[in-house]
Amino acid sequence: MKPFIDKKFAKFFLLLLLLVFFLIVFLYFQNKKSAKNNFNLPKSAITPIVSTTLVDWKIYTDGENGYQFFYPPSWKIDNVTPSYLQLVPPSEEDNEEGRIIIVVEKKNLTNLNQFMDEVNPATGTKNKDVFFPLQKIKNEKGDGLLTKGGCCGLFGRHVFFVHNHKLYQITLKGPPKSTSLKNEEIFKKIISSFKFLD
C-alpha cells in the first residue's frame, strides 16, 4: 500500500513552512525597526539665534494655537484665511516664491513618525513619500523635522512640529526641485525663533 503523503512532498512542505515562518519573523522585526525610525538625520543646522540679532524684528503671537516667532519688519502678516497664516515678503513675485506659510491642525498625534506614516489625502500616498526628511530641528519643546518636497502647489521646504496634539507646518514656498530657495535665510531665522507658549 502507498503512503498517503509522499516523503519528498512532505519534506518540501516542511521546508516551505520553515521558509514562511522565517519570512514572517524577519518582516516583523523590520516593521518594528521602521516603527522606531527616528529619521537618522544630522542634528539641526538651524540653531537658536541670540535675540540681539532679531532686535529690529517684529514678534507675532498666536494665542489660540499657542506659538510665537520673530519676523522682519518689512514683511506683512496675512491672516485673512482662517486655516493658515502667511508671511508675505516685500518684493514678492506672482508665483509667491519666498512666502512663508504656517498651518496648524488638530491631530491625534504624539510624534512626527506617526505623521510621516499617515496617508496624505491629497496624494493618496504616505507623507514620507511627499515630504522628504532633510534634518532634525531642535525646539525647546521637542524635535521638529525639516523636509523638502510637497504637493498641490505647496512645494519648497517644510518644518513640522507635533505639540499638544497639534501638527504645526511651517513652509517656505518654492519650486519643487530647487536646491536653494528665495528667503531661505529669513526662513531659518523665523524657525529658530519659533516657540510654543506653554
Query: Is a pLDDT exceeding 80 seen at residue 105?
Result: yes
Q: Is 10 helix (H, G, I), strand (E, B) or coil?
A: helix
pTM of the predicted model, to two decimals?
0.73
Q: Which amino acid is at 197?
A: L
Residue, of 162 and 54, whose pLDDT is higher: 162
Confidence band, pLDDT 50/70/90 cuts, at residue 142: confident
Domain boundaries, given as residue ranges, for the chain: 1-36, 51-196
Longest dimension (CA), the chain: 97
How far, rounded to the nearest angstrom, does the alpha carbon of residue 123 sit from its chain's CA centroid?
A: 15
- For the chain, report the end-to-end CA distance as a whole number of angstroms: 81
Confidence band, pLDDT 50/70/90 cuts, at residue 138: confident
Query: What is the model's pLDDT at position 35?
Result: 42
Under CATH, what is the fold of the domain 51-196?
Protein Transport Mog1p; Chain A (3.40.1000)
Mean pLDDT taken over the chain: 81
